Amino acid sequence: MKALDIKLLRDLRLLWSQALTIALVVGSGVAGFVTTLSAVDSLERARDAFYARAGFADIFAGVERAPRAVVAELRALPGVADVQVTTEHAVRIEIPGVHDPIIGQLIGVPRDRPLTMNRVTLRRGRAEGGPGPALADGALPAWVSESFAEAHGLEPGDRLQALVNGRLRTLQVAALALSPEYIFAGLFGAPDPRGFGVFWIDGDAMDAAWDMRGAFNRVAVKLAPAASERAVVDALTRALAPYGASLAHGRDDQISHTMLGNEIAEQRVLGTVMPAIFLGVAAFLLNVVVSRLVATQREQIAALKALGYANRAIARHYLQLVGLIVALGLAIGVALGKWLGLMLLGLYAEFFRFPRFDHVLEPSLVLVAGGLSVLTALAGTLGAIAATVRLAPAEAMRPPAPGRYRPTLVERLGVLRMSTALRMILRQMERRPWRTTLSVGGVAAAVAIVVLGNFFRDAIAHIVDTQFNLALRNDVAVWTLQATSERAAGELARLPGVTMVESSRFVEAALVHGHRRERTQLRGYATHPELYRIVDIDGGTTEPSGLGLVLTDRLADKLGARVGDLVQAEILEGRARTLVLPVDATVREMMGLNAYIDRRVLNRLLGDGDLSSGFVLKIDPGSEPALLAATREMPRAAGAFSKATMLRNMEEITARNIRIMSSVLTAFAAVIAVGVVYNNARIALAERAWELASLRVLGFTRAEVSALLLGEMALVIAVALPLGMLAGWGLVHVLVGALKSDQFFFPVVILPRTYAWAAIAVVAAGAASALVVRRRIDRLDMVAALKTRE
């Protein structure tokens, strides 16, 4: 082996603990990068393969009732390649032994023609033909969405009941199935495999139950190559307008596709922002370690140059040292990223259902991770190594120039009564301001990353509290398929345990302002809502008490509308109408692009009478089972859900997954904290070994000598904690801005416990480092340390 190679191995042996901590920091950044972006690749591959295999439609529309003869007209529209019509309805589902309310989407599968779009993939059970006609006892065979069946332990042959157009029908599970329309299944944008299921039954039985023979109420369209989605949507909306159509829409407004797309976009942001922070800290650590290592090896560098080693060879030597550390970090990161990626896909499998969902780690992703690691190494060490090779042998042989000694700033300000040890610590920190600044900055970065890692847990807790305690103050919600008379509120008020009823009406509409157009719902609330309130991101409430609209700030921005502007509302339900409404106020909400209006004002403008389509109820404790049972006897009630049940179902998946991801991010942050604090302490020991040994010879005890070094580390941590908390607050704002979308906006909420945990994590890292350093101080070889250079 060459002499420099032997020196390299010796350096690595001496620096093994520092090299390992740096490699772990690099590995954390690489693992975050590989985990998130491999999950994105896996989601996109599974989605695209399923869409292609199942023929996922490009455009969707609903009507109240349209004759099948219209299909030929729809197929003739410019840009339309294919049209598929079906009959679909929302129903209430009852499972023996399950008392929580369940909503099902019933979809008719035609006997005489196979589905050409949104084809169903069967997982277990009957695979030939359609679900099949009614059995001898009248039960309807049904394909059931896999997530719902697994949540309730249903297997082929099991039975349940559905309220089909006011009549209770038995459904028998024929197979477990998947559809590209319901990769994500849930109500109101929240995952709820227990409370929402999809059921495909025989199309003839479906048509007979709702008197839809020769008619349809759901349209799916496949676009021709190079066709304009906007043009086809407009043409389709006009063609279906006579049949009570809602606005046709593309995939971007299809709930399953939107939720999947939002998750992919969020993970792509996390896969770039978080690893960038980690690798930035790794570059900082490498810079500190290599520059200080060079400083402690001045004589060795001078000797190598004097023996004839070229600058290029010495630079290559230190680059190899850094390269081996980074290569170890890359290997750790890729292996950890692969494992965490598999875990993340396991969590995704509870939200998103595909026939095949494999973890894909593209070689190109590993190459990019390797390239980022190399850039990290170069960014962190190139300056230090360049300074090394420029060092003249004679200069390197001389000891470093002594520092400039003078009273510290604290002493000059008149603070003279302090211990000798504290005075020595402050003088040491002030005489090397750049090193002290870097040390404080590194520890502050560790604090900031711990804050960032725990932020999601705080944000989700705030969202749940805002949505379920401040906005939804009801216990049970009941809704109808069509707007019904306000007299229904009186009927609900007479049900067991009901103490308060509040009505609302939601109407599909397209808001137009200038050349901008956005599809949304006009949400008609009570004038002074008590149970169903408009709550902003800060917990404040707004009432739709005027004659106009209250828009979420994101919807107002997309429309380019301000308070006082007039907005056209094109009604997409029933007969075509256009309302001109002023914008009364805007509100910063966390969810969706929403438009609110006083329900009575909305009803007056529409001219349909005093109608409602939803009711929220406040009930006495313990009366929920009796109330839900009573709503099942109300034919106009399409469904009811319990807020407590919905919250529990959501927390079973969402809250648990957030805790897992937060724990992983916190673990990465703790690694960085240990890396920064430990490396600072070890390098400080190497730099000050001569001073510490001198103090031991002069009579200082081991504890007193240790206090000088560890006291400096304690002061660095004390200064870095508030700075790191402030930096963490700033990082959270940057990340929230990057994650902001039309559908969701994370609130910037950082609870005191998160700051406390960040402080505990860094102090613990400091304490562990102090124990290691104290042990090394106790074993300090004073003879070797006191050897001076002539």
The CA dihedral of 766, 771, 773, 774, to the nearest 10 degrees, is: 130
Q: Letter for the amino acid at 712? A: E
pLDDT band at 56 (very low <50, low <70, confident <90, very high): very high
**What pLDDT score does 765 carry?**
78
Element (H, E) at 367: helix 363-389
* Helix/strand/coil for 477: strand
Query: If you average pLDDT over residues 101-120, what whole number do you get?
Result: 87
**What pLDDT score does 411 carry?**
66
Tell me: pLDDT of 373 over 60.
yes
Tokens of 694: 């001198």
**What pLDDT score does 386 carry?**
75
Q: Are 136 and 167 in contact (CB under 8 A)?
A: no
Tell me: pLDDT of 702 over 60.
yes
In the chain, the percentage of residues whose pLDDT exceeds 70 is 90
**What pLDDT score does 371 carry?**
87
Residues 6+ apart with CB under 8 A from 327: 373
pTM of the model: 0.79
Helix axes 689-697, 702-739, angle to 10 degrees: 150
Q: What are phi and psi of 439, to 5 degrees?
A: -65, -45
Which of 116-120, 215-219, 365-369, 418-422 is the least confident region? Answer: 418-422
Tell me: pLDDT of 790 over 50.
no
Tell me: pLDDT of 132 over 90.
no
More confident residue, 63 or 657: 63
From residue 432, alpha-carbon distances to 188, 408, 425, 526 in Å are 58, 12, 11, 66
**What pLDDT score does 346 carry?**
84
**What pLDDT score does 178 carry?**
93
From residue 1, alpha-carbon distances to 4, 12, 300, 317 in Å are 8, 16, 18, 13
Q: Are 567 and 583 in contact (CB under 8 A)?
A: yes
In the chain, the percentage of residues whose pLDDT exceeds 90 is 20
In terms of Cα–Cα distance, which of 60, 55, 56 is closest to 249? 60
Which of 82-86, 276-280, 361-365, 468-472 is the least confident region? Answer: 276-280
**What pLDDT score does 187 carry?**
65
Q: Are 709 and 777 in contact (CB under 8 A)?
A: yes
Query: If you average pLDDT over residues 317-323, what whole number do you get?
Result: 83
4-52 pLDDT tens trace: 888 878 878 877 877 888 888 888 888 888 888 898 899 999 999 999 9
Q: Letter for the amino acid at 273? A: V
**What pLDDT score does 405 carry?**
62
Tell me: pLDDT of 118 over 50.
yes
Range from 49-53, 307-311, 655-659, 685-689 that averages highest in pLDDT: 49-53
Q: What angle do CA 578, 258, 177 make, to 5 degrees?
A: 115
133-177 pLDDT tens trace: 888 888 999 999 998 998 888 999 899 998 888 788 999 999 999
Q: Are strands 167-178 and 140-145 parallel, antiparallel or unpaired?
A: parallel
Tell me: pLDDT of 678 over 90.
no
pLDDT band at 84 (very low <50, low <70, confident <90, very high): very high
424-463 pLDDT tens trace: 777 777 777 777 787 788 788 878 888 887 888 888 888 8
**What pLDDT score does 643 carry?**
83
Distance CA 642, CA 280 (A): 47
pLDDT band at 596 (very low <50, low <70, confident <90, very high): very high
Rama region for 522: left / alpha / beta (φ>0; ψ in -120 to 50; rest) = beta
Query: If you average pLDDT over residues 667-689, what whole number do you get?
Result: 73
**What b/e sequence results for 406-435 when a residue is b if at least 16 CB atoms lie within 10 Å of its CB, and e otherwise?**
eebeeeeeeeeeeeeeebbbbbbbbeeeeb
532-576 pLDDT tens trace: 888 888 888 888 878 889 999 889 998 999 998 999 998 877 777
End-to-end CA distance of the chain: 31
Unique residue bearing structure tokens 């690691």? 373
Rama region for 83: left / alpha / beta (φ>0; ψ in -120 to 50; rest) = beta
**What pLDDT score does 49 carry?**
94
From residue 70, alpha-carbon distances to 27, 206, 245, 777 in Å are 60, 20, 13, 88
Distance CA 250, CA 229 (A): 7
Q: What angle do CA 166, 525, 604 make, to 5 degrees?
A: 85
**What pLDDT score does 381 carry?**
76
